[in-house]
Amino acid sequence: MKHLFGAKFRWVFLLFSAIIISSAHAQQNSNESPDIFFKIESLVKEFYPKAKINRTDKKIHFEFKSRNLSATSGKQELSPDSGGIAGDLDLKTGPYTGRERVPSETNLILHMVEVLAPYSQSRNEHLLARLSYPPDAPIEFLSRFKLIVNEMEKGNSEQNSEQNSEQKL
């Protein structure tokens, strides 16, 4: 009788452990966005230590030496001055379906606006990133920003290569 109870207990323990591990793995996959936000926040702090940064679980906004200007469309647009920066990243469900063509880079004379929206098939989410920067923005900052944002798509290629290697086995 003791042996039977011990075997059942082991199976319950193993089942419970498997559930815990799989839920932790699923939670880790759903929490990749804060990792991207953490990297962006670190990058902004590295190049613009006095920048204001506001972060939630699905969004991050940062700005330094920027002000609101009226755009030609009539709406207010955040425009960074020389030595400044402004950016918004927003994690949304599904592929990007907005009006703006992405990726795009627009010269608004006083500053440039870059819009990216990489999509992760594995998570069914896209990261809408809008970066406004003046002509004197550090090239290293801009290139590292794009690399970090495009990590969202990198997950697709890694997942596809894993699936292909599993199929070969």
pLDDT digits over 26-57, tens only? 444 444 556 899 999 999 999 999 999 999 98
Same domain, 19 and 38: no
Q: What is the mean pLDDT of the chain?
A: 80
> What pLDDT sits at residue 25?
42
Residue 118 lies in a domain: yes
Which residue, chain included where needed, has tokens 């009788």? 1
pLDDT band at residue 9 using 50, 70 and 90 as cut-offs: low
Reading phi first (left if > 0) and then psi (alpha if -120 to 50, else beta), residue 151 is in alpha
Same domain, 21 and 68: no
Reading phi first (left if > 0) and then psi (alpha if -120 to 50, else beta), residue 52 is in beta
Q: What is the mean pLDDT of residues 113-117?
A: 95
pLDDT band at residue 23 using 50, 70 and 90 as cut-offs: very low
- Distances from the Cα of 70 to the Cαs of 39, 57, 97, in angstroms? 31, 30, 26
Q: What is the mean pLDDT of residues 81-87?
A: 96
Same domain, 11 and 61: no
Closest by Cα among 147, 37, 24 to 91 = 37
Same domain, 42 and 6: no
Same domain, 7 and 76: no
Same domain, 149 and 89: yes
Residue 167 lies in a domain: no
- Give the residue numbers spanning the domain of 4: 1-30
pLDDT band at residue 161 using 50, 70 and 90 as cut-offs: very low
Same domain, 126 and 147: yes
Residue 37 lies in a domain: yes
Same domain, 6 and 58: no
Structurally, how many domains does the chain consist of? 2
> What pLDDT sits at residue 110?
86
Rounded Cα gap, residues 70 and 91, in angstroms: 26
CB 126 within 8 A of CB 94: yes
Residue 165 lies in a domain: no
Look at residue 164 and tell me whether its pLDDT is greater than 70. no
> What pLDDT sits at residue 16?
52
Same domain, 23 and 39: no
Residue 138 lies in a domain: yes
Same domain, 1 and 83: no
> What pLDDT sits at residue 74?
72
Domain CATH code at residue 137: 2.60.120
pLDDT band at residue 5 using 50, 70 and 90 as cut-offs: low
Residue 47 lies in a domain: yes
- Number of helices and strands in the chain (H, E): 4, 7
